[in-house]
Protein backbone atom coordinates (compact mmCIF):
# COMPACT_ATOMS: atom_id res chain seq x y z
CA UNK A 1 0.00 0.00 0.00
CA UNK A 2 1.77 3.09 -1.15
CA UNK A 3 0.11 5.44 1.36
CA UNK A 4 1.66 3.73 4.37
CA UNK A 5 4.59 5.39 6.15
CA UNK A 6 7.63 3.20 6.74
CA UNK A 7 9.26 2.84 10.18
CA UNK A 8 11.99 5.44 9.51
CA UNK A 9 9.39 8.03 8.53
CA UNK A 10 7.32 7.20 11.60
CA UNK A 11 10.36 7.46 13.87
CA UNK A 12 11.29 10.90 12.52
CA UNK A 13 7.70 12.07 12.72
CA UNK A 14 7.21 10.85 16.29
CA UNK A 15 10.68 11.97 17.47
CA UNK A 16 11.71 14.82 15.19
CA UNK A 17 15.38 15.83 15.49
CA UNK A 18 16.73 19.38 15.85
CA UNK A 19 13.38 21.08 16.30
CA UNK A 20 13.62 24.78 17.09
CA UNK A 21 12.44 25.48 20.64
CA UNK A 22 13.89 28.86 21.55
CA UNK A 23 14.40 31.00 18.50
CA UNK A 24 16.18 33.75 20.39
CA UNK A 25 18.69 31.39 21.95
CA UNK A 26 20.01 29.78 18.78
CA UNK A 27 21.96 32.68 17.30
CA UNK A 28 21.77 31.58 13.68
CA UNK A 29 24.08 32.64 10.86
CA UNK A 30 21.43 32.03 8.20
CA UNK A 31 17.67 31.95 8.25
CA UNK A 32 15.27 30.58 5.66
CA UNK A 33 11.50 30.80 5.64
CA UNK A 34 9.40 29.25 2.93
CA UNK A 35 5.84 28.24 2.21
CA UNK A 36 4.53 25.37 0.16
CA UNK A 37 2.10 26.67 -2.43
CA UNK A 38 0.36 23.29 -2.60
CA UNK A 39 -1.08 23.55 0.91
CA UNK A 40 0.07 26.80 2.43
CA UNK A 41 2.41 25.27 4.99
CA UNK A 42 5.37 27.16 6.31
CA UNK A 43 8.87 26.03 7.19
CA UNK A 44 11.56 27.91 9.08
CA UNK A 45 15.16 26.70 8.97
CA UNK A 46 18.05 28.23 10.92
CA UNK A 47 21.68 27.29 10.34
CA UNK A 48 24.96 27.91 12.08
CA UNK A 49 28.03 28.10 9.87
CA UNK A 50 31.74 27.67 10.51
CA UNK A 51 33.00 30.68 8.51
CA UNK A 52 36.46 29.25 7.85
CA UNK A 53 35.32 26.04 6.23
CA UNK A 54 31.88 27.35 5.21
CA UNK A 55 30.41 24.25 6.76
CA UNK A 56 27.07 23.91 8.53
CA UNK A 57 27.76 23.06 12.16
CA UNK A 58 24.20 23.05 13.47
CA UNK A 59 20.61 23.69 12.46
CA UNK A 60 17.10 24.02 13.87
CA UNK A 61 13.74 24.06 12.14
CA UNK A 62 10.01 24.25 12.72
CA UNK A 63 6.98 23.86 10.55
CA UNK A 64 3.22 23.80 10.36
CA UNK A 65 3.55 21.06 7.76
CA UNK A 66 2.24 17.53 7.84
CA UNK A 67 3.85 14.30 9.05
CA UNK A 68 5.82 13.91 5.82
CA UNK A 69 7.18 17.43 6.05
CA UNK A 70 8.19 16.86 9.66
CA UNK A 71 9.88 13.52 8.96
CA UNK A 72 11.67 14.85 5.85
CA UNK A 73 13.00 17.92 7.58
CA UNK A 74 14.00 15.96 10.65
CA UNK A 75 16.23 13.67 8.59
CA UNK A 76 17.44 16.61 6.52
CA UNK A 77 18.52 18.34 9.74
CA UNK A 78 20.72 15.35 10.55
CA UNK A 79 22.16 15.10 7.06
CA UNK A 80 23.18 18.76 6.71
CA UNK A 81 25.37 18.93 9.80
CA UNK A 82 28.95 18.83 8.60
CA UNK A 83 28.13 19.59 4.96
CA UNK A 84 29.66 22.56 3.18
CA UNK A 85 27.23 25.28 2.14
CA UNK A 86 27.58 24.14 -1.47
CA UNK A 87 26.83 20.54 -0.60
CA UNK A 88 23.83 21.57 1.46
CA UNK A 89 22.56 23.82 -1.31
CA UNK A 90 22.74 20.98 -3.80
CA UNK A 91 20.81 18.45 -1.74
CA UNK A 92 17.55 17.54 -3.41
CA UNK A 93 14.20 16.38 -2.05
CA UNK A 94 15.01 13.05 -3.73
CA UNK A 95 18.14 12.68 -1.59
CA UNK A 96 16.02 13.25 1.48
CA UNK A 97 13.20 10.88 0.58
CA UNK A 98 15.82 8.24 -0.28
CA UNK A 99 17.26 8.58 3.24
CA UNK A 100 13.78 8.10 4.62
CA UNK A 101 13.39 4.93 2.61
CA UNK A 102 10.70 6.57 0.49
CA UNK A 103 7.49 8.50 0.98
CA UNK A 104 4.03 7.86 -0.44
CA UNK A 105 3.95 9.35 -3.96
CA UNK A 106 1.40 12.06 -3.14
CA UNK A 107 3.53 13.18 -0.17
CA UNK A 108 6.76 13.79 -2.08
CA UNK A 109 5.99 17.50 -2.39
CA UNK A 110 6.13 17.83 1.42
CA UNK A 111 9.85 17.00 1.37
CA UNK A 112 10.41 20.08 -0.79
CA UNK A 113 9.59 22.41 2.11
CA UNK A 114 12.68 21.69 4.21
CA UNK A 115 14.88 21.67 1.14
CA UNK A 116 13.66 25.11 0.07
CA UNK A 117 13.98 26.55 3.56
CA UNK A 118 17.53 25.19 3.77
CA UNK A 119 18.50 26.84 0.49
CA UNK A 120 16.93 30.09 1.66
CA UNK A 121 18.99 29.86 4.85
CA UNK A 122 22.19 29.26 2.88
CA UNK A 123 21.37 32.25 0.69
CA UNK A 124 20.66 34.35 3.75
CA UNK A 125 24.13 33.44 5.00
CA UNK A 126 25.62 34.46 1.63
CA UNK A 127 23.76 37.76 1.77
CA UNK A 128 24.89 38.43 5.32
CA UNK A 129 28.47 37.88 4.21
CA UNK A 130 28.09 40.17 1.20
CA UNK A 131 27.90 37.62 -1.59
CA UNK A 132 25.41 37.12 -4.40
CA UNK A 133 22.49 34.75 -4.05
CA UNK A 134 22.81 31.24 -5.45
CA UNK A 135 20.04 30.02 -7.73
CA UNK A 136 19.03 26.47 -8.46
CA UNK A 137 16.25 25.06 -10.55
CA UNK A 138 13.82 23.20 -8.33
CA UNK A 139 14.39 19.48 -8.58
CA UNK A 140 11.34 18.23 -6.74
FE1 LIG B 1 -1.08 20.18 4.03
FE2 LIG B 1 -2.65 19.35 6.00
S3 LIG B 1 -2.99 19.23 3.93
S4 LIG B 1 -0.74 20.20 6.07
FE1 LIG C 1 1.61 20.21 3.40
FE2 LIG C 1 2.76 17.84 3.57
S3 LIG C 1 3.60 19.72 3.99
S4 LIG C 1 0.75 18.26 2.91
DSSP assignment, residue 68? H
Domain presence at residue 133: no
- Determine the atom of ligand 1 nearest the C-alpha atom of 64: 4
Instruction: Give the position, in ligand 2's atom list, of the atom nearest the Cα of 107.
Output: 2
- pTM as predicted: 0.91
Say whether 39 is catalytic. Answer: yes
Task: Please confirm, yes or no, whether 66 is among the known catalytic residues.
Answer: no
Ligand 1 centroid distance, CA of 65 (Å):
6
Whether residue 139 is contained in a domain is answered as no
Range of the domain at 84: 7-128
Ligand nearest to the CA of 115: 2
Q: How many domains in the chain?
A: 1
Q: How far is the CA of 54 from the centre of ligand 1 (A)?
A: 35
Residue 99 lies in a domain: yes
Q: Is residue 66 part of a domain?
A: yes
> Quick one: pLDDT at residue 117?
96
CA 32 to chain centre: 9
Q: Which ligand minimizes its atom distance to the CA of 34?
A: 2
pLDDT by position in tens, the chain (length 140): 467 899 999 999 999 999 999 888 899 999 999 997 777 789 999 999 999 999 999 999 999 899 999 999 999 999 999 999 999 999 999 999 999 999 988 888 899 999 999 999 999 999 999 999 888 866 54
**Which positions ≥6 away from 59 have C-beta within 8 Å?**
18, 45, 46, 47, 48, 77, 80, 81, 118, 121
Ligand 2 close to Cβ of residue 113 (< 6 A): yes
Read off the CATH number of the domain in which 76 is found.
Answer: 3.90.1010.10
Amino acid sequence: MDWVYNDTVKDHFMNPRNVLMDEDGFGEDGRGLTGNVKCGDQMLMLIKVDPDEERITDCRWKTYGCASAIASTSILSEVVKGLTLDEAFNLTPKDITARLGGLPEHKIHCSVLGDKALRAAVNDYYQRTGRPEKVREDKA
